[in-house]
Amino acid sequence: MLELEQYDISTEFGFLTELPLERLTNPYYNPWEKFLDNLNAYILHRTVRKQVNNKLPHLSIDKLANEREMRRAYLVLSFLGHAYIWSGEPVDRLPAQISDPWIAVSKALGLPPIATYAAVCLWNFKKIDESGEFTLDNLTTINTFTGSVDESWFYLVSVCFEKEGAFSVKVGLDALNSAETGNTHSLIENLQQFAESIDMLGSVLMRMEEMCDPHVFYFRIRPFLAGWKNMASVGLEKGVYYGDETTPRSYAGGSNAQSSLIQFMDILLGVSHHATGDLTADSSFLTEMREYMPKKHREFLQDLEPHTFTIRDFVKSQNNEELTLAYDACLAMLKSFRDKHIQIVTRYVVLQAKKVNKMGSGSTLRSGLAREKKEEKGTGGTSLLPFLKQCRDETGSAAAGSWGKRILTDGMLRLKYSKSNGINED
């Protein structure tokens, strides 16, 4: 069994840091924290670059005392960096007072210098009532770009998703242990609980619609989360130059694909993903997204990978109808979760993108991904809907039972039929 503690994972909080540091207390870093205090106003008045260029000092990371402080510094510099690039028409060079410490702290944490899922979600929340329970209703964000309720809610739903997913991690590893020890009765119970936990995660995801308006998300929040990989169509031809570097850097922006929990579920259930549109090549995008995860979480997934087919192979070897049904139920719930994700993306990105052409030249100023003529890519830089639909369809292909395989792979079969007959499924 893998010892979760050595990977900075717990059965209570999952992949979350229990409570992130809210502020760097060393006075040396006051300029960073004060800048972030005013970031919403600087973005509002489009003065981010002027304030950075004229007033932000060049600070070293040498006075950061521990990893918790380094995570906070990484978050601060991620917000500063993205605000600098995406406030107004994008620029392709970061000043050294942002890029140098950002590169240094990223190297120390084993992360790329870009605003990752870890920065804006895993390390960006606090309790409203410190003595209260860890629930969505008692959480708020530490920092946002816009200062809006919608942006806070967007991050907090992911925080709650990761917290609730702690049970999925525990019961999933229990299931793996049951399969490895040949305990069929225990495995059935574990898989039933795992299926229920995935269903619960889908319910958490759908809470996005309660307090995050799709229009606000698409035109106000999403542009700041984009990276600088595959972004030529929205203003960054080659990527971004960091400080005085002569070669541009190209990084994907924050994406839910950087959630270790989602990849954990795929590995545990033996779900394989492929390059979008190619059912033979491995998905390089999902493999790449691991480089954007905290180092120890990435190592956890790597150490789990040798067990990818342990549960599936054991289920198929037992010829036990109840066991097969429990396993296929997990896949059904995971596929349903991906259906819900597609629903969210359709409402928050695809339908909003269709509004762009209807907005005249006199409409609100927009930049970056908010001015796309059509939905083409996510903040991670990949083609959005084709990628998500293929991930969903591939989920069912791991089914152990013949009935489950027929039902769960219907989407995949329909996709293959449509392509072979020249039919556009969309």
- The reported pTM is 0.90
State residue 82's pLDDT score: 98
Percent of the chain's residues with pLDDT above 70: 86
Q: What angle do CA 366, 371, 373 make, to 5 degrees?
A: 160
Q: Binning pLDDT at 50, 70 and 90, where does residue 377 land?
A: low
Give all domains of the chain, ordered by start, each with its CATH number: 4-356+390-410 (1.20.58.480)
State residue 355's pLDDT score: 84
pLDDT (tens digit, 9 = 90+) per residue, 236-284?
Answer: 999 999 999 999 999 999 999 999 999 999 999 999 877 766 555 566 7
273 labelled ligand-binding: no
Task: Report whether pLDDT(413) > 50.
Answer: no
Task: Report whether pLDDT(73) > 80.
Answer: yes
Of 165, 217, 236, 227, the C-alpha closest to 352 is: 217
125 membership: H or E segment, kind and range: strand 125-127
Phi-psi region of 169 (alpha: psi -120 to 50; beta: other; left: phi over 0): alpha
* Dihedral, 159, 117, 292, 306 alpha carbons, nearest 10: 30
State residue 244's pLDDT score: 97
Of 205, 176, 203, the C-alpha closest to 191 is: 176
Please give the structure tokens belonging to residue 72. 């906070």
State residue 384's pLDDT score: 77
Task: Report whether pLDDT(416) > 50.
Answer: no
Sign of torsion, CA 34 31 62 299?
positive
CB distance 240 to 101 below 8 Å:
no
pLDDT (tens digit, 9 = 90+) per residue, 306-356?
Answer: 999 999 999 999 999 999 999 999 999 999 999 999 999 999 998 998 887
State residue 372's pLDDT score: 58
Average pLDDT, the chain: 90
**What's the CA gap between 31 and 83, in Å, rounded?**
16
